[in-house]
Structure 1
Amino acid sequence: MVRRLLGLPSFSLGLLLLPLLLHGLEILDPGQVVYKETRTNGVVDKGVILECGTTLPDVYIWGFTRLGTDTIRAVVYNFGKGPKLQQLAKDLGDLNVISNSASLSIQKLPLAAEGLFTCQALYDTPEGARFHYYYVYLRVLVPVSKPYVLLSDTAPVEGASVWMRCGLENGTGPVNYIWEQESRSGLLTTLIETNHSLVNVTWVTRNHTGWLRCLARNEVNQQRSDRIWLDVIYGPDLPQIDVSPYSVTERGYSALEKETVSLMCQASSNPASQYVWFYNNSQVYTGPQLTITKILRMHTGNYACLAQNTYLNTRSKKSITLTVYYPPDGAPYCSILPANNYNDLALFCSWEGGYPAATLNWSPYTQGGNNQGTNNITWIQPGPETTNNSVFTCYGSHITSKVSQSCSTKTWLPYGEPQCSAYATRNNEYLMLSCSWEGGFPLALLWWASSSGDIQGTSEENSNILILRSSADYSGKAFVCHAKHPLIKESKTCVLKLEAPVLMTQRSVVSVYEGSDVQLTCILSKNYPAVAEITWFNNMKQRVDESDTPKKYILQQAAAWSNLTVRETDGSVDGGQYWCSATNAVGGAEIPILLVVMRNPMPPNVSISKIAYSSRRRTAVSVEWLIQTDGDITGFFIEQQNLQLPLWQKVVSGLESNTRSHLITGLDPFGKYAFRITAVNQRTIGYPSGIKSPALPGLNAVPAVIGAAIGGMLVAAIATILLFMYVVRNRNNMPRLHDLIFGRQNSQSRENINDPEDEFVGAAEGGEGGGGGGDIEEIPTPSPGPSIPRPSPTPTNLPPGDEPVNVTITVMASS
């Protein structure tokens, strides 16, 4: 077979033997040729590798034989000078030889590449040349394309047969077909798995309703088709009736009266069923759910549901019996009532209505008996023998409920003691005595009595208010409130004693300086019932109310006191008698308070001790003053008067009380002024001081004389130094004058000037001068003169005429 496929006598052997002979190789026995067959698969448009040994042969040639032919044609060969692709290689895809091997790599594999590939390889070994034949059977596979679904009937009736086809355009067989179904809820299941694209469902059911799709699979890949909806027609089945709320009796269903009852009818059908409700054979409603709100006992009867499939024109029907029972309304009602004039307890339990009647019983059993009855029941329990906070429970049962209903009640004594209080109506027209002992069960009974025991008014539970017309006759009298509860033997009491108000004040006479605020105090010491408010009257017998508060008066009140503040008192208006008044339902009281408004004392008189211009420019005046006596002073103010315009003008105010001098600035140097000073306290202005005008400042000649003296001394000193220098330099021309001044040449008294920096002499001090009377202008005092160097002694051992002379004269001028 291999020989037939390869055509070795005509092509391959001759092609191989020729190069070998040319190279002088020794050809071994042909029986030693190695043959190897392999099969491989490739995918259209993908890549594949065809092996030709594990090592690179010295010479190789690849051939290709198409399916159904015996012709072998060369694809690529390598005689030692590199691979050479033949024309056929272009038809077999993107073909290349893998480097360092004889294997072929085919990319973009076409369907035409399917066939037999033969690699003839020659290896030069130490034993001689050896042939290898590699036969590679390449199968080119085609992936399956996306399938499509065809149904013989997309809406079959349940029980019919349906043909389903999964169509496929491309794909190498064998192909496996899987039919999948997706329900409405999204659940995916596998219906059929087969090798045929056409499937027959002989008996379709409602369970086949849903999305169908086909999955096609081969060796290469798998693809799913688009979904198609299979709608199976069926029904209706026998309806199912659900009653809500659910309650079953021997005769069928039951419901409680006045409840909302819902009858739901459901029958499987496609398309959905149409529902019609019948009550006692009369049509009452169309739809799946019949709802009866507040069902009544007359709604008892037979209810039937008819389900219809309009597409198939089929129907089904079911009936039920509904009985309406009505239990007693709500739950049992329990209560404890006083009995036998609030000495015993009556336990009362009631649960009216319902059919049949409810059964009631008390627990714990009282007096050792069986306390049971129907609809309502009452039993007497001795009061003082019952402990506080005792709980009694009444149990009620009814045929409509498996769970018994109950109610509980507790008897307990009110907390604390009875509370009494008294208050009056508006304008104290009536007096109201209130007594309460709140809480407890049953409620306590309360009644009022006078201190002598006479019953006042009527008795009431929980609280009692006795209304009396206001009268001063009740002042000092007592009223007693009695409270009785079944759990105690004796009644409890509380006592009210009525009293007219009593007023007090801290000071009956209040004095204040004029202009200040003053507070009047009124204290309520005794009163019952409570006073609604404390009233103030001013010195004009006018009532002080809140409308005056932001202006003249300020009111501050509490339950037991009241303060009246008079603002910025005025002696001519606010002084006099003020009244504080209080009234309740059993009397009234008032007290006077005298307000004395005193004038503030006058500040002491002021006298100007010194006043003068601060300089000859006449723009500022310095003033000093004294107070004549000690007194209440808060400050001063200064007034000035231009003598050309005789009007006083306040130029300085707000000076502190300890100030005794001040500098007034900003004056006109050509004006003539007079000044006065006035003392003030909190509310009073004193008398002005005497009027005085400022004087010009006196002249002082002492600085000028001292300056002139210092200047003269400096001039004399400089002249003397210049004379000395001239004599020293001309000592040969004037020897006698030189000796007269400095002494002889070798005398120790001789003085030579070497370095002027050796010593400095300070300037002479100036003398003092006096000034006479009259106006003398101020002369500025000259500054001290400059430092003058003093000659230092010169050595006497130098020859005459050779002494060094170095004179430095420094002159400094100051302006």
Structure 2
Amino acid sequence: MPGTEAIRAVVYDLGKGQRIQQLAQTLGQLTVISNSAAVSIENLPLAAHGLFTCQAFYDIEHEPKVFYYYVHLTVRVPVSKPYLLMSDVSPVEGSTMWMRCNLENGTGPIQYVWQYETRSGNISAFAQGNTNIINVTNINRNHTGWYRCVASNAVNSESSNRLWLDTIFGPDIPQIDVTPYSITERGYSALERETVSLLCQAQSNPASQYVWFYNNSQVYTGPQLTITKILRMHTGDYACLAQNTYLNTRSKKTISLTVYYPPDGSPSCSVEAALNYTALRLICSWPGGLPSPSLHWTGLGNTANTNTAVLLPSEGLNSNSLFTCMGSHLALKQSTECSTRTHIPPAEPECFPYVTNNKQYLMLSCSWDGGAPKALVWWEGPDGQAKGGEENSNILILRYGTASSGKTYTCHAKHPLLAQTKTCRLTLEAPVLLTQRRVVSVYEGSDVQLTCNLRANYLPVSEITWFNNQGVGVLDTSKYALLQTSAWANLTVRDTDETQDSGEYRCSTSNAVGGTEINVTLVINRYPMPPNVTLVKVMYNSRQRNEVELEWQVENEGGGGWTGFILQHIWVSEQPGRRGSNNDSKQEMEERISPPDWHSNIIQDPEVRIYTVGRLTPTVTYQFRIMPVNHRTFGHPSAAKTPAEPRYNVYPAVIGAAIGGMLFAAFLTALLLVFIIRNRNNNPRLHDMLFGLQHSQSRENINFPEDELEGRSEGGIEEIGPTMALPRAASPLTTSPASATPATSQAPPPGDDNEPVSVTITVKATGS
């Protein structure tokens, strides 16, 4: 054995066969090769390592010879499958760790190789050496991957299983990607109403968690923040916070996002005067929007930014020139435009004066509207008054009462498209009043109109005021009525009264230049006393005494002076025995009970001379009188008279009654004869007595058949109708016996003999 001097036999052959010793069992499966001095060892164990000596003995008679052959047998053990150990399989980036490759056995020298395999499968040698342990300092994220160790000796090479090394790190500073992608000087930009996506990524193991902030306010959790139809209000700072919850570390990044939006509406074009109204300045403005829109005038050969102007000389420009400005913005798909025209004001400058409400100042206004650009207007006065230029209109202010009467105030107006200056002038004058009549005379009770007018239309406008006879300003009341315009004023005095309304009325006017007034005298006259009236006839017109007919006459008929009459009656006395009659009306009873008073009937027609008063009480005695009136003046009442009874004439009444009776008797006789003729078959004796017997041949000449005659006679009775009532007393002219019977049978039942009967007899008499 190596390291010892002792030799032990393993196998020998001394001529008597091979002899294998027990030691050979520890050396493996030893086999002697026949007919040779060679041995074979199978399944060589490590114990077989050492020095083997072969001794050969030669049998020589004289002297034996021994030969020694030495063989050093080196037994090499192959390396076993190594296994890898790491001090930390999840080291933190920047820390230190070790890796060890362990073997069960193997004959050295042994070489170790450390292999690194990426996620994609690429394998590379990380380290190598003759030691089974290595130290790794300053671990970083690039060390993350699969590791294995390979052990090699002279016999073989074995590789360990791979082991994953997971480096813990992060998070790094986040990376923010904006879609759509657009970068400005201030950061990122987006167009209004676009969909904007913000993606945050930060290298970290384990993976980071993300929180989004908008202007320091948390708005979302997750790596991707999406804003649908972004608005201008979303402009601001967006920050992404990445967090490693394993290491409790975080990192943050902030970007600025600007939302571009177009201006509202469309561009605005205008033209104004420049260079003392000798040139034009074109202005195109489109305020708002981000960024500012791009503006330029077409057809002028230059480009202008927002609120910039283009200066053009007015020479050669027409009164209706058109200029167009184009506006575009990156947030709009299409450009927009505006236009402006130049034109001269269509009319002439207008001037007019007016006074302030408190009459402190006189304002002279001058205007020339409607031009593009606006015209320049200024005032010049006769006494050095002036008012600097203003566009469109200008007002010269003068203190009330300081304007010069008859002097001219001139307004000048200039437009850039006109070479000459236009003017308008005002001449201020104090007013002058006129009236149709200085003295007006009317009768009392009538309405009268007083007139007052201006001689001309004065500038400034004059205001007309009326004052009554007491010096008080007149307003519209029940007494006074005002009707006025700027040039005249009429005052109407209603229902004039001599005492209250007579006197001086004053019409006054004034303006900022001066004032004047005019007096009108109003004379109120009373109406004259109407003439006297005399009743010439006062008489009842019937026996019923309920109507009285009156007739009167007027003294001095041709003098006039009356407008009507008042006819009055009064209750004087009542006949006894008739008080409280059923025929008395309620009004008549009240007249008897109440104290005597005159009752009036107004007659408005001055031509009437006869009048009938009705509805009188027959048992009452009245007195009548009449008085003339004209407007407000009452004449003297006539002497009171009692009505006279009507004159009664019997002869006309008798004659009328006789004629009436005769007519009535003739009518009844005719009816009786018709009755007898139609009923001759029923009463033949009565018929024969009146008409006598006739030959039978005469009956055959009747045109109607017998049955028809009977039908007619029966129908004749139905056609007679109701019986007629006869007068209460038979007429003396009716003496026929034939008429006596129906008169007696058809007379109505007797009534009250005391019942009054109304008979009206009209007699017309003519006398020479």
TM-score, scaled to structure 1? 0.48
| SS across alignment from 2:569 | strand
Deviation, structure 1 residue 441: 2.3
CA contact (8 A) 1:302 1:322 kept: no
> Are 2:413 and 1:483 aligned?
yes
The match for 1:614 is: 541
Select the residue among 583, 587, 602 that pairs with 2:529.
602
Provide the C-alpha distance between the structure 2 equivalents of 1:249 and 1:602, rounded to a whole number of angstroms.
113
Provide the C-alpha distance between the structure 2 equivalents of 1:405 and 1:261, rounded to a whole number of angstroms.
21
Structure-2 change in CA distance of 1:253 and 1:606 (3 Å): same
> Are 2:320 and 1:393 aligned?
no
> Are 2:328 and 1:380 aligned?
no
Structure-2 change in CA distance of 1:449 and 1:787 (3 Å): same
Q: More strand by proportion, 1 or 2?
A: 1
Deviation, structure 1 residue 497: 1.2
Partner amino acid, structure 2, of 1:674: Q
Provide the C-alpha distance between the structure 2 equivalents of 1:457 and 1:405, rounded to a whole number of angstroms.
42
CA contact (8 A) 1:674 1:694 kept: yes
Partner amino acid, structure 2, of 1:575: S
Deviation, structure 1 residue 360: 4.6
CA contact (8 A) 1:678 1:688 kept: yes
Structure-2 change in CA distance of 1:552 and 1:402 (3 Å): closer
Partner amino acid, structure 2, of 1:483: A
Select the residue among 589, 610, 625 that pairs with 1:676.
625
Structure-2 change in CA distance of 1:542 and 1:242 (3 Å): farther
Structure-2 change in CA distance of 1:612 and 1:483 (3 Å): same
> Are 2:417 and 1:468 aligned?
no
CA contact (8 A) 2:625 2:641 kept: yes
Structure 1 unaligned segments of length 5 or more: list them.
Answer: 1-240, 267-274, 305-318, 711-753, 759-779, 790-806
The match for 2:424 is: 494
Partner amino acid, structure 2, of 1:691: A
Partner amino acid, structure 1, of 2:258: V
CA contact (8 A) 2:238 2:254 kept: no
Structure-2 change in CA distance of 1:614 and 1:283 (3 Å): closer
CA contact (8 A) 1:384 1:488 kept: no
Deviation, structure 1 residue 436: 0.6
Select the residue among 431, 443, 448 that pairs with 2:374.
443
> Are 2:749 and 1:786 aligned?
no
Kindly report the root-mean-square deviation, in angstroms, between the aligned alpha carbons of the 2 structures: 4.8
Deviation, structure 1 residue 668: 5.2
Provide the C-alpha distance between the structure 2 equivalents of 1:411 and 1:811, rounded to a whole number of angstroms.
119
The match for 1:700 is: 649
CA contact (8 A) 1:422 1:432 kept: yes
The match for 2:635 is: 686
Deviation, structure 1 residue 420: 0.6
The match for 1:567 is: 494
Alignment of 1:393-792 (within 5 A): 393-397=324-328, 403-404=334-335, 406-450=337-381, 454=384, 456-471=386-401, 474-531=404-461, 533-546=463-476, 549=477, 551-616=478-543, 618-628=545-555, 629-630=557-558, 631-643=560-572, 649-654=598-603, 656-667=605-616, 669=618, 671-700=620-649, 702=651, 783=731, 785-786=733-734
Provide the C-alpha distance between the structure 1 equivalents of 2:572 and 2:511, rounded to a whole number of angstroms.
72
Deviation, structure 1 residue 465: 0.2
After superposition, the C-alpha distances for 1:233-264 in whole angstroms (9 at most, x for unaligned) are: xxxxxxxx999xx96648998414xx576557
Provide the C-alpha distance between the structure 2 equivalents of 1:709 and 1:375, rounded to a whole number of angstroms.
127
Provide the C-alpha distance between the structure 1 equivalents of 2:262 and 2:645, rounded to a whole number of angstroms.
122
Provide the C-alpha distance between the structure 2 equivalents of 1:539 and 1:462, rounded to a whole number of angstroms.
49
Partner amino acid, structure 1, of 2:314: G
| SS across alignment from 2:598 | strand
Alignment of 1:135-534 (within 5 A): 249=182, 254-256=189-191, 259=192, 263=196, 278=212, 284-286=219-221, 290=227, 294-295=232-233, 298-299=236-237, 324=258, 326=260, 334-349=269-284, 360-365=295-300, 370-372=301-303, 374=305, 377-397=308-328, 403-404=334-335, 406-450=337-381, 454=384, 456-471=386-401, 474-531=404-461, 533-534=463-464
CA contact (8 A) 1:328 1:352 kept: no
Structure-2 change in CA distance of 1:673 and 1:343 (3 Å): same
Structure-2 change in CA distance of 1:694 and 1:460 (3 Å): same
Provide the C-alpha distance between the structure 2 equivalents of 1:667 and 1:283, rounded to a whole number of angstroms.
112
Deviation, structure 1 residue 533: 3.2
Structure-2 change in CA distance of 1:299 and 1:811 (3 Å): closer
Provide the C-alpha distance between the structure 2 equivalents of 1:262 and 1:400, rounded to a whole number of angstroms.
13
Provide the C-alpha distance between the structure 1 equivalents of 2:465 and 2:656, rounded to a whole number of angstroms.
88
Provide the C-alpha distance between the structure 2 equivalents of 1:811 and 1:513, rounded to a whole number of angstroms.
77
Provide the C-alpha distance between the structure 1 equivalents of 2:232 and 2:425, rounded to a whole number of angstroms.
58
Question: Greater CA deviation, 288-297 or 557-566?
Answer: 288-297
Provide the C-alpha distance between the structure 2 equivalents of 1:393 and 1:323, rounded to a whole number of angstroms.
35
After superposition, the C-alpha distances for 1:558-580 in whole angstroms (9 at most, x for unaligned) are: 22222211111011221222111
CA contact (8 A) 2:262 2:332 kept: no
Partner amino acid, structure 2, of 1:534: I
CA contact (8 A) 1:430 1:469 kept: yes
Deviation, structure 1 residue 553: 1.0
Provide the C-alpha distance between the structure 2 equivalents of 1:494 and 1:650, rounded to a whole number of angstroms.
76
Partner amino acid, structure 2, of 1:324: T
CA contact (8 A) 1:502 1:527 kept: no
Deviation, structure 1 residue 355: 8.2
After superposition, the C-alpha distances for 1:317-346 in whole angstroms (9 at most, x for unaligned) are: xx9999536478566664433222111113
Structure 2 unaligned segments of length 5 or more: list them.
Answer: 1-175, 200-208, 243-252, 574-593, 660-687, 693-727, 748-752, 754-768
Provide the C-alpha distance between the structure 2 equivalents of 1:641 and 1:686, rounded to a whole number of angstroms.
19
The match for 1:804 is: none
Partner amino acid, structure 2, of 1:553: Y
Deviation, structure 1 residue 480: 0.8
| SS across alignment from 1:299 | strand
After superposition, the C-alpha distances for 1:729-756 in whole angstroms (9 at most, x for unaligned) are: xxxxxxxxxxxxxxxxxxxxxxxxx977
Structure-2 change in CA distance of 1:285 and 1:708 (3 Å): closer
CA contact (8 A) 1:503 1:589 kept: yes
Partner amino acid, structure 1, of 2:509: A
Provide the C-alpha distance between the structure 2 equivalents of 1:703 and 1:782, rounded to a whole number of angstroms.
19
Structure-2 change in CA distance of 1:571 and 1:395 (3 Å): same
Structure-2 change in CA distance of 1:242 and 1:690 (3 Å): farther
Deviation, structure 1 residue 403: 4.1
TM-score, scaled to structure 2? 0.51
Structure-2 change in CA distance of 1:673 and 1:326 (3 Å): closer
Alignment of 1:794-805 (within 5 A): none
Structure-2 change in CA distance of 1:289 and 1:576 (3 Å): same
The match for 1:40 is: none
Structure-2 change in CA distance of 1:539 and 1:784 (3 Å): farther
Deviation, structure 1 residue 296: 6.3
CA contact (8 A) 2:294 2:305 kept: yes
Provide the C-alpha distance between the structure 1 equivalents of 2:291 and 2:602, rounded to a whole number of angstroms.
106
Provide the C-alpha distance between the structure 2 equivalents of 1:492 and 1:562, rounded to a whole number of angstroms.
37
Provide the C-alpha distance between the structure 2 equivalents of 1:400 and 1:617, rounded to a whole number of angstroms.
114
Provide the C-alpha distance between the structure 2 equivalents of 1:489 and 1:709, rounded to a whole number of angstroms.
119
Partner amino acid, structure 1, of 2:359: N
Compare CA radii of gyration and give the structure with the larger one: 2
CA contact (8 A) 2:319 2:343 kept: yes
